Amino acid sequence: MSIEIRDLTVRYGRTVAVDSVGLDLAGGKIYGLLGRNGSGKTSLLSAIASYRKPSAGVVLIDGEEAYENPRVARRTCFIRDTLDLSDSDRLRSALDLAARLRPTWDQPYAEKLLDVFQIDPGKRVSALSRGQRSAFGVVLGLAARTPLTILDESYLGMDAVARTLFYRELLADYLEHPRTIILSTHLIEEVADLFERVIIMDRGRVIVHDETDALRGRGVTVTGPYEAVTAFAAGRVILGEQTLGGVRAVTLDGHVDPGEIERGEAAGLSFGPIGIQDLFVHLTSQPLEASR
């Protein structure tokens, strides 16, 4: 399902969690939503999933206004931290409820996932470890097979093995049943390869929305004699810098073409790549006045 977000603002009292965001998400892709704690990720996702009424602006899903729209709600699954279950609920009854509510629910697949994550459906929610609780969220989210599936930090507490299983299942099921999936995360490095596009939020705003592959190779580090580095960096966007004695190292945003690198190297500069994780850290750690 495609998502159009127009001038969306979400406010809690005087706090602005989402600040006039506009975003067009074409259907059938896997999106990664990145941002620091408190950047507005969960608020944005809650508005997309109609769990929260926008303070201003609108969310359109396949062209229809999403809020309090049962046609959209049936086809949307939002898995958040609380799982929207109470501690005394048994997992089996949560699964039964999901099966009744979701026309697209795949029970055999749910059973398979419970097996993969070694979760006993006879247990109560309160008996789950943090990682198992997250894994149960993944079961509910993937087996629902809804055309719009939103997973908000669904890896919390999972160990490396469980996370690997999660990513593997997510990709395998998406390949068989393509749909729109939005996954929010802090663990960029280990999951970035699964995202077709990445959205980065900072202080309530969307600062990047691009193909994941385009972010690889965006940004460069330049190291060398102070004067030469300073001359090279002139007129470019500097994301970070360090100086040690007469040596300066800067991290620059944007693309540097091979000819410039060749000339730079001839002038005694050395160039290095920055990963998506580093790019994210640099872009979201700028002082307020620099980012606005």
Partner 1 sequence: MFHDRSPIYLQIAEGIKNDVLSGALEEDEQVMSTNQYAAFYRINPATAAKGFAQLVEEGVLYKKRGIGMFVSPDARERLRAERRERFFADVVAPMLDEAKRIGIGVDEIVKHLGEK
Taking the least distance from each CB to partner 1, the nearer of 30 and 72 is 30
- Contact region with partner 1 (CB under 8 A), list: 48-56, 115-123, 169-177, 222-230: 169-177
> Residue 42: exposed, middle, or buried by beta-carbon count in 10 A (0-12, 13-18, 19+)?
buried
Binding residue for partner 1, selected from 130, 168, 255, 263, defined by CB under 8 A: 168
Please state the closest distance from residue 55 (CB atom) to partner 1, in A: 33
Binding residue for partner 1, selected from 56, 97, 127, 172, defined by CB under 8 A: 172
Please state the closest distance from residue 224 (CB atom) to partner 1, in A: 15
Residue 105, phi then psi, degrees to nearest 5: -55, 135
Please state the closest distance from residue 37 (CB atom) to partner 1, in A: 24
Binding residue for partner 1, selected from 111, 116, 167, 233, defined by CB under 8 A: 167
Binding residue for partner 1, selected from 7, 65, 193, 227, defined by CB under 8 A: 193
- Contact region with partner 1 (CB under 8 A), list: 89-97, 99-107, 117-125, 170-178: 170-178
Please state the closest distance from residue 153 (CB atom) to partner 1, in A: 20
Binding residue for partner 1, selected from 97, 101, 214, 237, defined by CB under 8 A: 214
Taking the least distance from each CB to partner 1, the nearer of 32 and 204 is 32
Rounded Cα–Cα distance for residues 270 and 261 (Å)? 8
The identity of residue 172, as a single letter, is: A
Number of residues that bind partner 1 (CB under 8 A): 20
User: Mask of contacts with partner 1, 30-49, x by CB under 8 A?
Assistant: x-------------------
Cβ atoms of 40 and 34 within 8 Å: the answer is no
Strand order in the sheet with 197-202: 76-79, 148-152, 180-185, 30-35, 197-202, 205-211
Taking the least distance from each CB to partner 1, the nearer of 32 and 141 is 32
Under the rule (CB under 8 A), what is the footprint of partner 1? 29-30, 167-168, 171-172, 175, 189, 193-196, 212-214, 216-217, 273, 275-276
